[in-house]
Amino acid sequence: MRISIVGGGYVGLISSICFAELGHCINLIEIDGRKAEAINSASPPIYEKGLEELLSKHAGRNLTASTNYSGIPESDVTFICVGTPPKSDGSANLSMIESASKSIGLAMRDCDRYHVVTVKSTVPPGTTHNLVMPIVLNESGKGKDKIGFVMNPEFLREGLAIQDFMNPDRIVIGSEDIRGGDIVQSLYYGLEAPIVRTSLTAAETIKYASNAMLATKISFSNEIGNICKKLGVDTYDVMLGVGMDHRISPHFLNSGVGFGGSCFPKDVSALIRLAEAVGEDPILLKSVVEINEKQPMRMVNLLQRRIGDLRERKLQFLAWHSRMIQTMPGNLELYRS
């Protein structure tokens, strides 16, 4: 199929190259001209294992990047893969979602074929139905008989994103109508994974709940780890034993400096704000964030007890995961090894 993908950032680029690998023809829309040119030249703007090889294979063949929306009318499906950064209050900033929706709608005014608009960005539950759908329909001047709407969240780990895309735990497809959901499901033909078909809002909630659950496991592990230190117990022995329970699993049970990166902090905060907006007090999620915010300084205090005053010292950390570096306090000079 012909696919347009709006946003050449992390999710958009990985989705583009993986869909190209599955045999689809990709039109990647990236407003940054330099980034679009780099993609067309098979020079990836980010590092991800296997990305450079796949980009060299598909760029200029069945994957082309551009700065405009002119290719959308010829596409069967358009994915929205733009960012949803946090606002100052922790809620999700949907300005880029709104802008992309308007541009997609305008591009579809002269398109008479059935088209599926699919949100892959992480958005608060209700966004596809209450924001994306009305904007696209209004700007295009068309009805739901011509445009289907789907929510298809991503579950990618930084550093292993291509592997995760091509070998997913599950593929979640929330749709407004069966036809649109069926078309998006067909894009993944060839991948062996359970297909979860839901409503639009349920699919959006699955993404937020998944990230919140993983963040909760990390904060839980850190709280148990802090107790273990006081008891003189090896935290890793404890978590090894806990993780062997098949109901829990060992993933995301390593205690350390807490969770960081581009997803967990903003998504848990956005879910908290959303819960408060509908009259709920998410006590557990607030505790997850509170534990996470305090954890880096626990590491600093541990260092101070071991080696004394840290001022004027240069510290080197051997990090087994890049997110460890991202979550450390900014007043320490860090070197990635």
How many other C-beta atoms lie within 10 A of the C-beta of residue 145?
9
Cα-based distances in Å from 230 to 204, 234, 240, 253, 308 = 40, 10, 19, 19, 20
Contacts of 327 (CB under 8 A, 6+ apart): 257, 258, 259, 260, 295, 296
Q: Is 180:187 a contact under the CB 8 Å cutoff?
A: no
Task: Please give the structure tokens belonging to residue 143.
Answer: 């009805």
Torsion of CA 291, 294, 295, 300, to 10 degrees: -170
- Which residue is catalytic, options 18, 25, 81, 263? 263
- Residue of 191, 189, 207 lying closest to 152 (CA atoms): 207
- Residue of 299, 228, 211, 217 lying closest to 257 (CA atoms): 299
Compute the distance between CA of residue 83 and CA of residue 211 in angstroms, rounded to an integer.
16
- Residue of 122, 113, 48, 38 lying closest to 80 (CA atoms): 122
CA 130 to chain centre: 21
Task: Please give the structure tokens belonging to residue 230.
Answer: 């006081």
Instruction: Note if 263 is an active site residue.
Output: yes
Contacts of 196 (CB under 8 A, 6+ apart): 170, 171, 172, 173, 203, 206
What is the DSSP secondary structure assignment for residue 73, as one 8-state letter? G
Active-site residues, by number, are 263
